[in-house]
Structure 1
Amino acid sequence: MPETLAREEISTTAPTAPRYYLYAVTRADTMFDPDLLPGVAASPAASPAPVEVLVEGGLGVLVSPVPAARIRPERRNLAAHQGVLRALAGAGEPSLPVSFGVMAPARTELRALVRANHDALLAELERIGGMVEMGLFLRWDVPNVFEFLLDANRELALCRDELLAKPGGPSHHERIEMGRMFEAVLQGAREGHRAVLSRALAGAVQEIASDPPRDERTILSLACLVDRDGEAAFEKAVLAAAELFDDNYSFDYSGPWPPFHFVRVSLGEPG
């Protein structure tokens, strides 16, 4: 998952007063109005909690007061969390997204956390507050990735042909070795394509982070840190990069999102 502000379980005792669910950190003078946004819900039967801005020392923390020790990662809660972050990003407000599930047991302790991390949070807002994250995906658009790589790699194809020509077929060990060889070719192809894309996007992105491919067909799953006013330049760079690949490849991109992958500060316990 993206590197957002890290989860910090401050207390596990049953709440006697509302706890505070965190969405994001922004500036205290934010013009963002979260009043109409549905927040997370304390239980499946509960109504969505309101979203409010808690101000402390020049910083604003988007929170929901909830009478629950924890928030379940149910679909509507995940959607509510993402909805607040997307609305904040769409409003053009600088923000540091918080990972799903972060809770503070009381308003006073949340304020103490913000004070303890005040300088680091302000510095991080200054570093990436004017940026957004764009997702970029490169995939093989072929019926069979294994056969496609065989056609492109003579050594791999010869190894496969030799094994299939053996009387009785390949042994278990030989099949394992063939699989390892295929994985090496697969990884090499991904690294080569990443180098090509990195060069093509160099003028349009500030940083690039990677997530592991979800399946064999996925070549790259990238997160790109882009200036908020640089989305058009990013899209133009992606289209230019796509011209470097033939019809065996497909591109897709998403965003803008809050800069999930690029937050480098964690909320820690005070004192």
Structure 2
Amino acid sequence: MAGILVVTGGSRGIGAATVRLAAQAGWDVCVNYLRDQAKAEAAAAGAREHGVRAIAVQGDMAREQDVMRLFAAVDDQLGPVTGLVNNAGTTGPAGKLLDLTAETVESVMAINVVGPFLCSREAARRMARSRGGQGGVIVNVSSRAAALGSPNEFVHYAASKGAVDSLTIGLSKELAPEGIRVNAVNPGLIDTEIHDASGIPGRLDRLVGGVPEGRVGAAEEVAQAVVWLLSERSSYVCGALVPVSGGR
């Protein structure tokens, strides 16, 4: 049964695809974005075409004040959240450990780790049965990098996603008695803007040979898994890390 969903980083890539498919499944949606208001508003407008309510709310999910403002806006405009997709994230600039700066590590950890912690806390406060909530679902967008390590390029990013995997497992056990299921998807090489932003042109073409299926994935293929985890069709799935990676 669909409800009220927050998708962080919902203006593009996997986030935007999740907004679209969730709306098709009947979820009212809050599209969170950091900078691109036009894309976020377009994603919300596209969701409303499916007969659901949708809003766009700006906020930096690494900042507690912004996270709390986001959930307050959802309370006021849509109602208590029953679904959360922690999708907002960054790779940070590519590079080897020898050239890594503290600023890069701190910024990546802030959005990729602190953000999901804060968003999950605010969502759980509203969903938890002990707080008067009706339960809900949290899906974290992790990465296959957590298991592969991304040496020579994104060890900092891989480490942050390893933390997301651990967060998923821990919260799944802590929150299940509250009626909240927590799972994660672990995308592999997916054709989104994040690769261009990382500063490595042609990265997908270079790495696709290591994918058993022989191709990169599409954002919608990840979103299909996310929306399944949000749905009652996955009602006994809790604490799962679901690879969406073509076998990589």
Q: Normalising by the residue count of structure 2, what TM-score does the alignment of the two structures yield? A: 0.26
The structure with more helix, counted as a fraction of residues = 2
Q: Normalising by the residue count of structure 1, what TM-score does the alignment of the two structures yield? A: 0.24
Bigger RCO (CA 8 Å, 6+ sep): 1
